[in-house]
Chains A and B, each alone.
Chain A
């Protein structure tokens, strides 16, 4: 469904995307993860043919981009990072107007509107103005809008950023229904939980390069020890100096916390029993640990 080879984009001397290769199969949900500035949004804009690459090739739904971007975009639905619903139109009119941009007749869009409103849980808000919608409703409408022309593939750029947990879960449910219906989805996110829940496969992007690719569980198993013990409290430095290197397979101190990555958490916890001033949190390692290991802990602004 999507085939990318050697994709490169430079701004001046800075390469934002460097030799990216991606393959997404039909019906797959593919995640693109990366810290801010890793090149996720630039990659999506390249895939849509909105900006031109300096090198590399893109084939989207079998169509070469950017050469035939217009035809390719006919087959893609896009949920952008920033809401850009049309504030001059009601909920229903937003869908009608968007369908027209795809060359659909008014009757054809109107026939799809009830189903789309239902999907978005906005059937009772059909005539509401955009300003009256909550953040979650706007996102759902944006998602419904992206489906107006029944695309084969969906691009979602951080679809749940800025939403509360309830709203986020609703979006996830919607996306699961689409995955169930066989849509191909490419989503960018920096919520590891979102990636772990939704994607079949994901790629971690940093400084415009792929640093890892695979199924979420597979990435955790390949890149990191199965358990983490986070230790904090008084006397941490001492304890770290004496025990960390012998008890942990790998460890790092971040601020006031020791992250101890281990295959044998029970041994670590056993040892911590003798240090009553220290507190700890034991948990299975997750995608976020992989992410932080691969992309580092430095802030990206």
Chain B
């Protein structure tokens, strides 16, 4: 039992797994990009202009800007989560692609690192698309500052990719993922300051929110959009790294038990 949960041994062999996913994605890149990006963008623009025109400054900035900063993190989270839940599950459980790869000189550590880095890459694209809208509409305070959002987005993708892999490891079927969305992702969207400032919440919920990874992602992204330096940078980066790494390590142990038993 315990030997399933030894620490990962990382190697560069994960690269062909990333590449495999990239090549498959490339075949359907245009519809995939549109499908992934249109949704968050529509929400952001619709709510941003619609609700925004009714609201005074929110969190010290126009509502559209406030929402755009939240959407960068939210959209990245969603893209990474969908990738490691539905797509990774297809490859692991339905298509048995992982089994085929494991007969080559790759370990499950490599395969899952490939999946994680791929999810982070793909979600980076989602985050960048929102960032492009922010640039296009001039919603930023300082252009150069917004460039820091790029590594933040990559880190957010890593974080939620790692967390989602745990669900992938324990799921019997696609239906199971609905629990994760209903019990984890949706509450997080509402508690972490995507649509409204966390300070509007009752204090109990605020203290819960402080522990959630999306809060840390938004606490980094929002000041960078507004053109100020985020507070407690190390804490936020640390939290995202810990959630992602811990997710990967736990998911690896659980998946070893699932596949290599």
List chain A positions with a Cβ less than 8 A from chain B. 11, 48, 50-52, 70-71, 73-74, 76, 78, 80, 82, 84-89, 93, 97-98, 100-103
Contact = CB atoms under 8 A, between A and B. Distances in A.
B105 A97 contact: no
B106 interface: yes
Nearest to B102: A50
B3 A84 contact: no
Contacts of A82: 96, 99
A101 B105 contact: yes
A101 B95 contact: no
Interface of B: 3, 13, 16-17, 19-20, 23-24, 27, 95-97, 99-107, 260-261
A84 B104 contact: no
Nearest to B3: A52
A84 B20 contact: no
30 contacts: A11-B261, A48-B103, A50-B260, A51-B261, A52-B3, A70-B105, A70-B106, A71-B105, A78-B103, A80-B99, A80-B100, A82-B96, A84-B95, A84-B96, A84-B97, A84-B100, A86-B20, A88-B27, A88-B95, A89-B23, A93-B23, A97-B16, A97-B20, A97-B23, A98-B100, A100-B16, A100-B20, A101-B16, A101-B106, A103-B13
A87 B27 CA distance: 13
Contacts of A103: 13, 16, 105
A231 B17 CA distance: 58
Nearest to A50: B260
Contacts of B106: 70, 101
Most chain A Cβ neighbours within 10 Å, of B20, B96, B104, B106: B104
Given A97-B23, A101-B17, 20 more contacts: A52-B3, A71-B105, A80-B103, A85-B100, A86-B97, A88-B24, A88-B27, A97-B20, A98-B100, A100-B16, A100-B19, A101-B13, A101-B16, A101-B104, A101-B105, A102-B104, A102-B105, A103-B13, A103-B16, A103-B105
Nearest to B25: A88
Given A51-B260, A93-B23, A86 B104 contact: no
B86 to A, nearest CB: 14
A256 to B, nearest CB: 42
Nearest to A77: B103
**Of listed B17, B103, B106, residue having the most chain A CB within 10 A:** B103
Contacts of B96: 82, 84
Contacts of A73: 103-105
A69 B253 CA distance: 19
Contacts of A101: 13, 16-17, 101, 104-106
Given A86-B20, A97-B23, A101-B16, A74 B95 contact: no
B137 to A, nearest CB: 36
Contacts of A97: 16, 20, 23
A102 B100 CA distance: 12
Q: Among the interface residues B3, B97, B261, which one has the most CB atoms of the partner chain A within 10 A?
A: B97
Contacts of B107: 70
Contacts of B17: 101
Contacts of A85: 100
Nearest to A145: B100
Given A84-B97, A89-B24, A74 B260 contact: no
Nearest to B4: A52
A124 B176 CA distance: 42
A93 B3 CA distance: 36
Nearest to B17: A101
A72 to B, nearest CB: 8
Contacts of A50: 102-103, 260
B36 to A, nearest CB: 17
Contacts of B95: 84, 86-88
A77 to B, nearest CB: 8
Query: Which among B23, B24, B100, B261 has the highest number of chain A CB atoms within 10 Å?
Result: B100
A290 B23 CA distance: 50
Nearest to A104: B16
Contacts of B23: 89, 93, 97
A226 B107 CA distance: 49
A102 B101 CA distance: 9
B109 to A, nearest CB: 11
Contacts of A84: 95-97, 99-100
A100 to B, nearest CB: 4
A32 B174 CA distance: 36
B20 A74 contact: no
A101 B21 CA distance: 13
A98 B261 CA distance: 24
Contacts of B105: 70-71, 73-74, 101-103
A253 B110 CA distance: 55
A203 B97 CA distance: 31
A295 to B, nearest CB: 25
A50 to B, nearest CB: 6
A11 B17 CA distance: 31
Q: Which of A84, A93, A98 has the most CB of B within 10 A?
A: A84
